[in-house]
Chain A
Amino acid sequence: MSARRRIEAVVLGCSAGGVQAMLALFPKLSVDFKPYLIVVCHAGAEGVELLCEVLGRVSALPVREAAERDSPQPGVIYLAPAGYHLYLEREGQFALSIDPKVCFVRPSIDILFESAAARHRSKLLAVVLSGANEDGARGLQYVRRLGGYAIVQDPEDAAVPQMPEAALRIAGADDVLPLSEIATRINEFCS
């Protein structure tokens, strides 16, 4: 069964409605969560320090801002810093850029997904949640092309459906699930 595949990394993208979704999702992630989880959430120009704190409070896993040149550690949740694109290099470290916006946003979910796919290929799990634009769809398409696993929040269940809708239209998904079932699915893969 596919749930047996070994997952090394989870990437997650969301925008409008995304913080609420993460607040519901993160408390359910297992303490035995083994990979690392990297998040791009379009949260505005302000820093993500506060968001790290809020999410850290509800989650069993530590939540930190991704720092350039550091390598992500297992069992940690990382948020992309505001105003920078976040990449995962081939050798595994985080890298940042202020390259032009993609889909009108920086950080871009597409950029994180593509670079993480190049690094982890079939051992990558990518998740698209609630959001108001098309960012993430091309990245998810690339993740799937390289054999990664894709979970998209059911648009019917999402606070703002455009992002999961675009992901399904452009990339498709291995699972389309309501938020309440996404954590269970991630835990199956990752604990």
Chain B
Amino acid sequence: MDAEDIELELFVQALKLRHGYDFGQYARASLKRRVNDLVKNAELGTIGALTSRVVHDEAFLPQVIAGISVPVSEMFRNPEIFKALSAEVFPVLASYPHINIWQAGCARGEEVYSLAILLEEAGLYDRTQIYATDFNDHVLHVAQEGIFSVHEARLYAQNYLAAGGKHTLSHYWHARYERVKLDERLKRNITFANHNLVADGVFCEAHLILCRNVLIYFTNTLQDQVLGLFRDSLVRGGFLALGNKESIHFSANAREFLAFNSAARIFRLGPSVGK
């Protein structure tokens, strides 16, 4: 192992021992880059110095979590996926009197608001409860605000139309200066909560779990563990939507998920599995 890799492992150990955050099963190449960015931004010189800071300076932790978390997203990112959810999954959800959706790794809320809008347009939102979770408190706070820059909003508006939206996205926001704020009413059935996929367990019976581009950061071992958690959180025949480029063929738990729409990476629990 070279010096930097050793320093990285010691940093991961220190975070776990000192603060209980376990990044031991995060894919190393991208983790290393993000940790090095933290080193640069805090002008610390080496990962070793960062480790020392993380051990001795309690107040520094949120900055570290924010640096390791990657809250990069878009509303209606990969619009064709949202189109597939509306066209193929919503009609099944419509058969339930009450619908629970869990969006894990919600970043700044981009996808959860996208879902709320499409559910509203499908006439399903009033009987839906969405749990939007992340392990980064800072982004949860930002997500709750529902504010985006005008620059981002332009892209989101295009994505929304490509996803089959029925109006124009501006129907759902108020523009002020360089920002847009999403309609407060969209939040009425969303609960934002801190949930760490590494450490926390089942908390709901979901009909659909949306977890896109989060497992890509995990090793095969942790990916498998989290797919087990998803299985245990879904009702029989429940749906799981992953990111466009995610592969789950190394996971034993994945075998219980059947391909529903392979191109859209939408899976469904078999009829004999689930709650």
> What 3 pairs across the A-B complex have the smallest Cβ distances?
A87-B29, A97-B30, A115-B29
A residues less than 8 Å from B250 (CB atoms): 69
B residues less than 8 Å from A95 (CB atoms): 27, 29-30, 216
Q: A97-B27, A97-B30, A114-B33 are in contact. List 6 more A-B contacts (CB 8 A).
A: A81-B245, A87-B29, A89-B27, A89-B29, A97-B216, A99-B30
- Within residues 1 to 50 of chain B, which ones have a CB less than 8 A from any CB in chain A? 2, 5, 27-30, 33-34
- Within residues 87 to 108 of chain A, which ones have a CB less than 8 A from any CB in chain B? 87-90, 95-100
B247 x A99 contact (CB < 8 A): no
Which of these, B27, B29, B246, B247, contacts A70 with CB under 8 Å? B247
> How far, in angstroms, from A18 to B273 measured CA to CA in the complex?
49
> How far, in angstroms, from A58 to B105 measured CA to CA in the complex?
42
B residues less than 8 Å from A8 (CB atoms): none
A69 x B247 contact (CB < 8 A): yes
> How far, in angstroms, from A88 to B29 measured CA to CA in the complex?
7
**Size of chain B's interface in residues, with CB distance under 8 A?**
20
B33 x A68 contact (CB < 8 A): no
Known A-B contacts A68-B245, A81-B245, A96-B245; the reply to A118 vs B29 at CB < 8 A is yes
- B61 lies within 8 A of chain A by Cβ: no
- A67 lies within 8 A of chain B by Cβ: yes
Closest to B72 in A: A98
- A84 lies within 8 A of chain B by Cβ: yes
> How far, in angstroms, from A67 to B220 measured CA to CA in the complex?
14
> How far, in angstroms, from A130 to B245 measured CA to CA in the complex?
27
B residues less than 8 Å from A84 (CB atoms): 216, 245
Looking at the assembled complex, report how far the CB atom of A30 sits from the nearest CB atom of chain B, in whole angstroms: 30
Looking at the assembled complex, report how far the CB atom of A39 sits from the nearest CB atom of chain B, in whole angstroms: 16
- A85 lies within 8 A of chain B by Cβ: yes
- Within residues 199 to 226 of chain B, which ones have a CB less than 8 A from any CB in chain A? 213, 216-217, 220
B residues less than 8 Å from A100 (CB atoms): 70, 72
Looking at the assembled complex, report how far the CB atom of B205 sits from the nearest CB atom of chain A, in whole angstroms: 29
**Which of A67, A68, A70, A87 is most buried by chain B, counting CB atoms within 10 A of its CB?**
A68
A residues less than 8 Å from B220 (CB atoms): 69
Looking at the assembled complex, report how far the CB atom of A11 sits from the nearest CB atom of chain B, in whole angstroms: 13
> How far, in angstroms, from A100 to B29 measured CA to CA in the complex?
15
> How far, in angstroms, from A118 to B36 measured CA to CA in the complex?
14
B residues less than 8 Å from A85 (CB atoms): 30
B70 x A98 contact (CB < 8 A): yes
B residues less than 8 Å from A97 (CB atoms): 27, 30, 70, 216-217
- Within residues 59 to 112 of chain B, which ones have a CB less than 8 A from any CB in chain A? 70, 72-73
A67 x B28 contact (CB < 8 A): no
Which of these, A70, A90, A99, A115, contacts B34 with CB under 8 Å? A99
Looking at the assembled complex, report how far the CB atom of B202 sits from the nearest CB atom of chain A, in whole angstroms: 25
Looking at the assembled complex, report how far the CB atom of B30 sits from the nearest CB atom of chain A, in whole angstroms: 4
Closest to B78 in A: A83
Closest to B223 in A: A69
Closest to A118 in B: B29
Question: Can you show 30 pairs from A to B with CB atoms below 8 A apart?
Answer: A67-B245, A67-B247, A68-B246, A68-B247, A69-B247, A69-B250, A84-B245, A85-B30, A87-B29, A87-B30, A89-B28, A90-B5, A95-B27, A95-B29, A95-B216, A96-B245, A97-B27, A97-B70, A97-B217, A98-B216, A99-B30, A99-B33, A99-B34, A99-B70, A100-B70, A100-B72, A111-B33, A114-B33, A115-B29, A118-B2
Closest to A88 in B: B29
> How far, in angstroms, from A89 to B5 measured CA to CA in the complex?
12
B residues less than 8 Å from A111 (CB atoms): 33
Looking at the assembled complex, report how far the CB atom of B151 sits from the nearest CB atom of chain A, in whole angstroms: 14
A residues less than 8 Å from B28 (CB atoms): 89-90
B residues less than 8 Å from A115 (CB atoms): 29
A residues less than 8 Å from B213 (CB atoms): 98
> How far, in angstroms, from A118 to B73 measured CA to CA in the complex?
28
> How far, in angstroms, from A99 to B246 measured CA to CA in the complex?
15
A residues less than 8 Å from B5 (CB atoms): 90, 118
A residues less than 8 Å from B245 (CB atoms): 67-68, 81, 84, 96
B residues less than 8 Å from A81 (CB atoms): 245
> How far, in angstroms, from A69 to B72 measured CA to CA in the complex?
21
